[in-house]
Amino acid sequence: MNKPISSVWPGRPYPRGAHWDGEGVNFAIFSVHAEMVELCLFDPKGKSEIQRIELKERSDFVWHCYLPELRPGALYGFRVHGPYRPEDGHRFNPNKLLIEPYAKDIVGTPIWNDAHFGYSIGSKQEDLSFNRRDNASFMPKCRVIDQTFNWGNDQSPDIQWQDMVTYELHVKGFTMQHPGIPDRFRGTYAGLSMGPPIEHLKRLGVTTVELMPVHTFFDDRYLVERGMKNYWGYNSIGFLAPDSRYSASGDISEFKTMVKMLHKAGIEVILDVVYNHTVEGNQMGPTQSFRGIDNVSYYRLVADNPRYYMDYTGCGNTLDMQQSCVLQLIMDSLRYWVLEMHVDGFRFDLASALARELHEVNQLGTFFDTIRQDPVLSTIKLIAEPWDLGEGGYQVGNFPMGWAEWNDKYRDSIRSYWKGDGGLLGELAQRLTGSSDLYERSGRKPHASINFICAHDGFTLHDLVTYDTKHNEANQEDNHDGNDNNHSWNCGIEGETDNPEINILRARQKRNLLATLLFSQGVPMLVAGDEMGRTQQGNNNAYCQDNAINWLSWELKPQDQDLLEFTRSIISLRLKHPLLRRRYFFQGRSIRGGDVKDIIWLKPDSTEMSDDDWNQPFSRCLGLHLIGDSLFETDKYGQRLIDDNLLLLINAYHEDIAFTLPEFDEHSCWDALLDTFDGTGIPETSHYQVGQKYSVHGRSLVLLKQSKTQ
């Protein structure tokens, strides 16, 4: 657009945002307390403001107009007039160009300048002062899009929960150094849609990728001034716009193509979404969108002093789920990503913040009720990070039906057990079998537990067995950031070493942790690169490192290649054996009136564990006998699932333990499928008689299958 618009029609209040209908563009923006709203149109480069158009029509607090001459590609923003009374919660400042909440494409990143702030930086009045500087030349611009895309016969792979193997990845970090991706496509959606990275996922056995935030986000000013970035992206500002920094083409169709190609490979796409707060921070933050559109309507403010923000997120503000405009925005955003972008589900960052109706977390809050009755969102995968930073925010196990949860109790228990901590057998048993203590009472199934050893936040798997303490010096925060309670063990030496014995032990510990994860009931989640020994050099909070600390290296050392092959093998074993991915919790008793239990907990002499045995603080070894005949389950086509008996032997003690292989059928024997003691995972001997002793090496895990001898 290079010339002013001559025709302005009233338009409609819905749909919100900028909507191209094939003939013109309708604009609609919500603000209860605004006194005037102006639409600002810019030249194709976003440098010069060509025209301001006052939105004179208002319906139910939605300001709207229709421009029949405007076309896709037009750049725009809003200026909103109203009272500037921070002490009453109002922070309108028409000198600030604002990102529109429903923008589907946002071009550029902010150039940090004092003009972005509604108050005068350095004023003795702080945020009570008023800044008249115009920030338009420093602000990204919204762009009108044409949503047309040829999806062909694209369909969701529709992976059953219990069959999922989830893989958390960062679009840029996963693709930035991949040798099979041309340079111009590295770090982008286009790169992730190419054959080599998808082939890696398929060969590994991944069914579902969980993308770290791709909603448009801004880098914090303090990070930019330090020469760093908000690499993780948990700083959203555009809930319907894919971040353009990950786009090689600058077109949102690139994101759609990525989803289409992953679906074609049978891989689901889940988005990590941040609806709990925005980039605008607390009262001293910038005015770039919601704050300037209607601060009182979008944010949770302190009731008796609305100058300040309720902060349940640790990021300065919290979006107000009690407000209908916020709830509608989030629901519209979610539906947009499902219907227009074809994603298969969402992982909600700090999801407890979404459940807060007053101050306390309410698991039956409006947000959950609204999703439950929605015909689109009630059918997709919903995963909660079940905590926030406010009082009562830790809600693991308390989310309602239809939700799965990141289970940090699983993470901490498994880490502590393999580290060698005692008195954990009972806790270990709960986590291995799907955490029924957390999820069964609410009617949920084992897949409600998203099991993970590592995630983006914290140590990588390699660093977990290499460092006792965090080493976050690169973040320039004097190593004060990041969690100090990591349940990690460096195996005897802090950091990297040439000591062969230490490195052998570390490699075994990685195999132990991965095998435990894949052989546990629930949904396993790997973090990208753990299957290849990725390190962050001991940094357990690498949120600001857009460099090789976070980018995956695809140049594998021999030990990394061995770990990759091992990971492929254990994922394959999981997918071959339905007993390792049951839909229902074990009962620990006879099934359907028969004499067969579904699970038997064994001591090394093959007798059943007693109550006293569970409570022994020195015990660090355990056997799980999983009974195939108890598997009264079917696949999604209604076919009965069949499996052999399995025996999982776990020894976190530093010395070998001789396990007597249980007698279950006189016409059977035991075949060893996996032993983590050896670097390949291949057992020394594969065939054993019932009653024979199997020596489980110190700090090792073994999986055996019962077979018929005749």
Q: Residue 30's beta-bridge partner residues?
A: 62
| Ordered DSSP codes for 239-255 | EEEE-GGG-SSS-THHH
No. of H helices and E strands in the chain? 15, 29
Question: Is pLDDT at 95 greater than 50 in this prediction?
Answer: yes
Residue 580, classed as helix, strand or coil, is helix
Angle subtended at Cα 633 by Cα 687 and Cα 441, rounded to the nearest 5 degrees: 110
Mean local confidence (pLDDT), 16-33: 98
How do strand 646-651 and strand 621-626 relate by DSSP bridges?
A: antiparallel
Q: Cis link prior to 179 (omega < 30° from 0)?
A: no
Q: Is the pLDDT of residue 606 over 90?
A: yes
The CA-based dihedral angle spanning residues 410, 539, 318, 335, taken in that order and rounded to the nearest 10 degrees: -70
* Cβ-Cβ contacts under 8 Å for 48 (sequence gap 6 or more): 42
CB atoms within 10 A of CB 495: 12
340 burial (CB, 10 Å; 0-12 / 13-18 / 19+) is middle
Q: Average pLDDT in the 117-138 region?
A: 98
Cβ neighbours of 95 (radius 10 Å): 16
Check residue 475 and give its pLDDT.
Answer: 98
Q: Which amino acid is at 263?
A: H
DSSP conformation class of 356:
B
State how far Cα 587 lies from the chain centre: 31
Q: How far apart are CA 326 and CA 298, in angstroms?
A: 6
**DSSP label of 586:** -
Helix (H) or strand (E) holding 646: strand 646-651
Given a contact cutoff of 8 angstroms between Cβ atoms, the answer to whether 39 and 10 are in contact is no
Per-residue confidence (pLDDT) for residue 708, from 0 to 100? 73
Residue 361 banded pLDDT, cuts 50, 70, 90: confident
Residue 372 is classified by DSSP as H
Q: How many CA atoms lie within 13 A of 104 on its CB side?
A: 26
Where do the domains of the chain lie?
Answer: 17-144, 587-708
User: ∠ CA 362-364-367 to the nearest 5 degrees?
Assistant: 90
Query: What digits encode the pLDDT tens for the residues 539-563?
Result: 999 999 999 999 999 999 999 999 9
Residue 349: active-site member = yes
CATH superfamily name and code, 17-144: Immunoglobulins (2.60.40.10)
Question: Can you give the pLDDT at residue 358?
Answer: 63
Give the span between the Cα atoms of 673 and 681, in whole angstroms: 8
Q: Minimal CA–CA distance to 522: which of 461, 586, 460?
A: 586
Q: List Cα–Cα distances, 668 to 440, 627, 689, 709, in angstroms.
A: 34, 14, 8, 5
Contact (CB, 8 A) for 648 and 672 = no
Check if the beta carbon of residue 369 is closer than 8 Å to that of residue 403: no
Q: Is 562 a residue of the active site?
A: no
645: pLDDT strictly greater than 80? yes
Please compute the mean of the pLDDT values over residues 148-163 and round it to a whole number. Answer: 97
Is the full-model pTM beyond 0.85?
yes
Residue 581, pLDDT > 50, answer yes
pLDDT in tens, 387-442: 998 888 999 999 999 999 999 999 999 999 999 999 999 999 999 999 999 999 99
How distant is the alpha carbon of residue 356 from its chain centre? 21
Sign (positive or negative) of CA dihedral 605, 609, 611, 613: positive
Burial label for 343, CB within 10 Å (0-12, 13-18, 19+), is buried
Residues 6+ apart with CB under 8 A from 653: 420, 620, 621, 698, 699
Mean pLDDT of 591-604: 76
Of the residues 210, 272, 311, 349, only one is catalytic, namely 349
Residue 433 near residue 422, CB atoms below 8 Å = no
Q: Is 137 left (phi over 0), alpha (psi -120 to 50) or beta?
A: alpha
Topology agreement, domain 17-144 and domain 587-708: yes
Segment 174-222, tens digit of pLDDT: 999 999 999 999 999 999 999 999 999 999 999 999 999 999 999 999 9
Distance separating alpha carbons of residues 84 and 267, to the nearest angstrom: 49
Strand spans (E) along 579-620 = 599-602
Which DSSP state fits 446?
G
Nearest alpha carbon to residue 160 among 586, 564, 644, 638: 638
pLDDT greater than 90 at residue 158: yes
Task: Report which DSSP code applies to 127.
Answer: G
Distance CA 330, CA 542 (A): 28
Give the pLDDT band of residue 53 (cuts 50, 70, 90): very high
Element (H, E) at 506: helix 500-518
Rounded Cα gap, residues 285 and 291, in angstroms = 9
Using CA atoms, how far apart are residues 516 and 520, in angstroms rounded to an integer?
6
Phi, psi dihedrals of residue 90, rounded to the nearest 5°: -95, 130
pLDDT at 594: 53
DSSP, res 226: T
The amino acid present at 378, given as its one-letter code, is S
Predicted local confidence at residue 642, as pLDDT: 87
**Closest C-alpha to 527, from 575, 557, 567:** 567
Query: Which CATH fold topology does 587-708 show?
Result: Immunoglobulin-like (2.60.40)
Instruction: Collapse the DSSP code of 279 into the 3-class scheme (helix H, G, I; strand E, B; otherwise coil) and give the result.
Output: coil
Q: Which of 127, 311, 385, 531 is catalytic?
A: 385
Q: 212, 93, 112: which is closest to 456 by C-alpha? A: 212
Residue 407, phi-psi category: left (phi > 0), alpha (psi -120 to 50), beta (remainder): beta
On the question of pLDDT at 592 being above 50, the answer is no
**666 pLDDT above the threshold of 80:** no
- Counting residues of the chain whose pLDDT is more than 90, the rounded percentage is 88
Residue 377, CB half-sphere, CA atoms under 13 Å: how many? Answer: 21
For 574-603, what is the mean pLDDT?
83
Spell out where 311-380 has E strands. 345-348
User: What's the CA dihedral at 299, 302, 308, 311 to 10 degrees?
Assistant: -60
Q: Is the pLDDT of residue 364 over 70?
A: no
Q: Is 693 helix (H, G, I), strand (E, B) or coil?
A: strand
Burial class (CB in 10 A: 0-12, 13-18, 19+), 501: exposed
Helix residue ranges per DSSP H, 343-407: 366-373
Which stretch of 257-271, 337-351, 516-530, 600-614 has the lowest confidence by average pLDDT? 600-614
The widest CA-to-CA distance across the chain, in whole angstroms, is 90
Query: In which order are the strands placed within the sheet that holds 141-143?
Result: 49-54, 36-42, 75-81, 141-143, 106-107
Q: Token pair of 234, please?
A: 């948990």
Are the CB atoms for 196 and 180 separated by under 8 Å?
Answer: yes
Question: Rounded to an integer, what distance in angstroms lies between the CA atom of residue 378 and that of residue 375?
Answer: 6
Whether 355 has a pLDDT exceeding 90, the answer reads no
**Mean pLDDT of the region 601-627:** 92
Give me the pLDDT at residue 591, please: 46
Going by pLDDT thresholds of 50, 70 and 90, the confidence category of residue 618 is: confident
